[in-house]
Amino acid sequence: MRPWNFSAGPSVLPLEVLQQAAAEMSDWHSTGMSVMEMSHRSKEFMQIRDEAEADLRELLGVSDDFAVLFLQGGAQAQNALVPMNLLGLGPARKADYVVSGSWSSRSAQEATHYGDIHIAASSQAPTEQWGSFAYFPTPDSWQLREDASYVHVCSNETIGGVEFNDWPKLERPLVVDGSSNILSRPFNFAHIDALYAGAQKNAGPSGVTLVVVRRSLLGHADQQCPSVFNYTSLDAQHSMVNTPPTYAIYMAGLVYKWLKAQGGVEAMQARNQAKAELLYNYLDQTDFYANHVAPEARSRMNIPFLLHDASLDALFLQHAEQAGLLQLKGHKSVGGMRASIYNAMPLEGVQALVEFMKEFERRHG
């Protein structure tokens, strides 16, 4: 049996996807070519790309009112490309950012190079009950400007383990960094105007970035925006202004077919809720471990936890690896442990983790 991989990203992929990709590695559908060897403009690859887009649209529930793009550069590149493409929606070149953790903080900082960026709300300051970035600023606390071109939020902070998805319908476009919980639950695109996501959590391997943007927002990119990153040009040319990340798109397409076979995002939502509840319920009943995120903001994708005695951290990780539980070390900026339980992590993996944690507590508590 394979070990259980709790990496925050690049993360575990469905075994069925890996097996299919291995079987097709040197000869895709009797073409005599690997997908890595195909021209990106060949009919074979166009079939792969078109099916990936169609399946992604179906899973997300987005209509033709939205462009669906496959880009390079990772989600961090979108920290620059979002303002380069969308700040021009308003003459004042303003945008409001909600800061709920490390990744949204980076997004806001990068955007300052391109316009007037305002922090509409932040959870960096601790409250009487919760520490820095351990809760999510509720929409009623957002200080939004009437002339902002858009409002930017991060739906899930992988480092702090904070998640929020109950977006209000705003009077200005809402842009969502959905990198670490896309396809884990339904997203309400009636309230979302643009979403971007690095694929390497729930939507494929690293190397391809997804952008879903309302077509009514296109046509406002800066003149300095490179053509290969101009959303309007990318939409018109089916993400092929230049050679796209072909193999990563192929792999992502296999993931979307796997998700559809599992029952789609509604089925994944139920599975992810069950996995998260199993681990959180255990954390809440023990003093040996702790999670310090506000319950209403707890992520179902990334669950950070601390041992009551930090001197046991190295031993915990050593024994976990020996037990086939991999990549549980927390982010270097916060320490502790982190279990990332994305779509491809089955309930059995979380059960194995909880049983290991109980046994480790029994021996060292």
3-class SS string, the chain: CCCEECCCCCCCCCHHHHHHHHHCCCCCCCCCCCHHHCCCCCHHHHHHHHHHHHHHHHHHCCCCCEEEEEECCHHHHHHHHHHHHHHHHCCCCEEEEEECCHHHHHHHHHHCCCCEEEEEEECCCCCCCCCCCCCCCCHHHCCCCCCCCEEEEECEECCCCEECCCCCCCCCCEEEECCCCCCCCCCCCCCCCEEEEECCCCCCCCCCEEEEEEHHHCCCCCCCCCHHHCHHHHHHCCCCCCCCCHHHHHHHHHHHHHHHHHCHHHHHHHHHHHHHHHHHHHHHHCCCEECCCCHHHECCCEEEEEECCHHHHHHHHHHHHHCCEECCECCCCCCCEEEECCCCCCHHHHHHHHHHHHHHHHHHC
Q: What is the mean pLDDT of residues 280-299?
A: 97
pLDDT at 28 over 90: yes
Q: Which of 144, 145, 146, 164 is nearest to 154 (CA)?
A: 164
pLDDT at 198 over 90: yes
Angle at 338 between CA 334 and CA 339, to 5 degrees: 165
Q: Which of 356, 281, 283 is nearest to 324 (CA)?
A: 356
How far apart (Å, rounded) are the C-alpha atoms in residues 129 and 159?
A: 20
Contact 2, 15 (CB under 8 A): yes
pLDDT of residue 212: 98
Share of the chain above pLDDT 70, in %: 100
| 246 assigned ligand-binding residue | no
Our measurement of the distance from residue 38's CA atom to the centroid of its chain's CA atoms, rounded to an integer in Å, reads 28
The packing angle between helices 313-322 and 347-364, to 10°, is 130
pLDDT of residue 334: 87
| 31 assigned ligand-binding residue | no
Contact 178, 156 (CB under 8 A): yes
CB atoms within 10 A of CB 263: 12
The model carries a pTM of 0.96
Environment class of residue 322 by beta-carbon count within 10 Å: exposed (0-12), middle (13-18) or buried (19+)? Answer: exposed
| 130 assigned ligand-binding residue | no
| 138 assigned ligand-binding residue | no
How far apart (Å, rounded) are the C-alpha atoms in residues 356 and 319?
A: 9
pLDDT of residue 68: 98
How far apart (Å, rounded) are the C-alpha atoms in residues 356 and 282?
A: 12
| 41 assigned ligand-binding residue | yes
| Mean of all residue pLDDT scores within the chain | 96
Q: What is the mean pLDDT of residues 220-248?
A: 95
Q: What is the mean pLDDT of residues 154-173?
A: 95
pLDDT of residue 332: 85
Q: What is the mean pLDDT of residues 262-268?
A: 97
Active-site positions read 103, 177, 201
pLDDT band at 365 (very low <50, low <70, confident <90, very high): confident
Q: Is omega for the bond preceding 126 within 30 degrees of 0, making it cis?
A: no
If one compares 17 and 332, the residue with the highest pLDDT of the two is 17
Q: What is the pLDDT of residues 63-109, one digit of tens each?
A: 999 999 999 999 999 999 999 999 999 999 999 999 999 999 999 99
pLDDT band at 147 (very low <50, low <70, confident <90, very high): very high
pLDDT of residue 165: 84
- Report which residue type is found at 352: A
